[in-house]
Structure 1
Amino acid sequence: MKRKIKKDWILTPGFHHMKFFILKTISVSLFFMLAFVTFCLNTYGYDDDSPGKWWKNKKVVNKLELSNDQVNRIEGIFSSNKGRIKELDSDLKKKEREFSDTVKNPNSSREEILKMNNEVEEVKGKLRKAYIDMRLQIRDVLTPEQRTKLQEIRTKHGKPYP
């Protein structure tokens, strides 16, 4: 007696391997993106007493010889960007949950999974752009000498230069 093989593409072993590969790739991507976002949030913390606000640290301010005007300008840049970055971070977490649900759903089509992946990547790009823009605005407040000193301070403490 010959065994009947179902020809439904969803039940083929190749599809399951592809779905596993996509899930694995996306999981790794999400891990690195979350690590990046965590780094961003730790670098420029959201609480007033956050250690990420290096421009509020008296030792750093003294070493960099920041003026009160520079500190106020940096704080203003941070404050004006904080809401947008938090909003994008929240959007990213929501899209990642939706994406995870879509991948886990056995009835999701390849097109649905890829569409959700594109949506996640789009929000990641917006978040990264907003964060980099804020960092560049802050960097522009500093003199070249202050940038060099800040880089030395951050390298000494194991954090990359903003």
Structure 2
Amino acid sequence: MSQELPVTPEAEVVTIFTPVNLVLLSLFLYLLFTRLRPTPTPVLANPEPTVFRTFTPKTLLPYNGVDNPSVYLGVQGKVFDVTAGKSFYGPGGPYSNFAGRDASRGLAKNSFDEEMLTDVNEKLDLLEDLNDEEKGSLRDWKGHFEGKYMLVGRLVNEGSDEAKEAGL
């Protein structure tokens, strides 16, 4: 003999607050929050505006990452801001001897030796003795810098018309 239990209205109540629904609701609210929250204003690494200017070897020298937080280097008469690559070009980096200097000869010859750098008291190296392979290497390096770093100036000889025009 089986007896059936009577069905009461309380037994038919279905709640939407199940553990699964609460997890889904929490996930929905989190995603909604992440999409609608205000994004913080990005802080620029170099808050000072960069103005294209003329450099001589002597005026470029302080931009070596030690005397100045910015790191610049020259390649074939162009000056690039390589501060974003400070781990490479700044103090302690593998290319640090190029910081604040004309790196053209060293890049062309794929050499980081100090003798590849022109003395800041001498005229810029015209690189007339480079062979075709070295010219190609320099062209590739220059393209790399043009594609990756901001051009901030031109590098001219001390006492040249361009330097005098710039007040150097």
TM-score normalised by length of structure 1: 0.24
**Greater share of helix:** 1
TM-score normalised by length of structure 2: 0.23
**Greater share of strand:** 2
Bigger Rg, which one: 2
Greater relative contact order structure (CA < 8 Å, 6+ sep) = 2
